[in-house]
Structure 1
Amino acid sequence: MAIRPSARWRARADEEATELAAGTRAPSDAFLSELFPESLLAATDAALHEFELDVEALRDQDDEKAFEAIKRVILVLNGINEDHDGAGYETQEREELCLYIDHALAEHGIDVPALVARRGISRTEITDDWRDW
């Protein structure tokens, strides 16, 4: 099962906090708690959980249902990003989120290459119609 990016971000921030507490990381080298505030992690995790529930029900649905699920999660993620001054998701996080969406679809039985081919787009464009970040 694909690991939610928010879980990886939380683990990195927790590791940094542990290193700070142990004195093995200088405070001047610590930035993950600012990059990944709890509000961003919790909201992103909840959005991805809802997306997982949506795609779990898609196995025999048409393409439009799949794209509706993608649109829903992207619009929620757009709102989360805006709630964090438009800087919630930087380049690496954007790539991780898009890859997660692709993997979650595939893990739930969606033939992603066929899905995007029928829409005339590439896999990397699957979120582009709605994504602001």
Structure 2
Amino acid sequence: MITRPTAKWGREVQDQRRRIAAGTLAEDDDEAYALALWPEAFIAAVDTALDAYEADVRSFSSPSDDEVFASVERVVMALNAIDEEHDSPIETGEREELCEYIDEVLTDAGIDVDGLTARRNIDRAELTDEWREW
């Protein structure tokens, strides 16, 4: 089963909230980064984009490369908008997790991502690069 990056982020937010409530972590402590980095509205928006992407990929029966790339483009463009709307919380770690997740969803659906990207003369790691602003 694929774990969404948002699930990890949400767990970290909840853990830090519990620690703040218990008095073992100060809200202004550098270790309390998750509350500022991944607010609920940001996580919810990313989940909405990932829901749409997963539904899109699940709807494939025998997709063409263009259909698969169009699905990747849609989710990346949605994430671009979310990143901009929420003052750019998608940083290096989030970028890597989201790109990996986008790839994993395709792989889980039986799409040969190596073949897909090779046919476009790009590396698998460049799957989202054409549209990604984060």
Q: TM-score range by the shorter chain?
A: over 0.9
Which runs of structure 1 show a deviation greater than 6 angstroms over 4 or more consecutive aligned residues?
none
Counterpart residue number, 1:7: 7
TM-score relative to the length of structure 1: 0.95
The letter of the residue matching 1:52 is: E
Counterpart residue number, 1:43: 45
Counterpart residue number, 2:70: 68
For 2:41 and 2:25, how far apart are their aligned partners in 1? 24
- Equivalent residue for 1:58, pick from 60, 63, 71: 60
Q: Secondary structure at the match of 1:129?
A: coil
Root mean square deviation of aligned Cα? 1.0
Q: Deviations over 1:96-129 (max 9, x none)?
A: 0000000010001111111111111011100011
- Structure 2 segments unaligned to the other structure (5+ residues): none
Residue 75 and residue 7 in structure 1: after superposition, are their counterparts in 2 closer, same or farther (change >3 A)? same
Q: Secondary structure at the match of 1:11?
A: helix
The letter of the residue matching 1:74 is: V
For 2:61 and 2:7, how far apart are their aligned partners in 1? 25
TM-score relative to the length of structure 2: 0.94
Identity fraction in percent: 45
The letter of the residue matching 1:63 is: D
The letter of the residue matching 1:34 is: A
> What aligned pairs does 1:76-91 form with structure 2 within 5 A after superposition?
76-85=78-87, 87-91=88-92
The letter of the residue matching 2:18 is: T
For 1:68 and 1:112, how far apart are their aligned partners in 2? 14
For 1:25 and 1:33, how far apart are their aligned partners in 2? 12
The letter of the residue matching 2:123 is: S
For 2:60 and 2:51, how far apart are their aligned partners in 1? 15
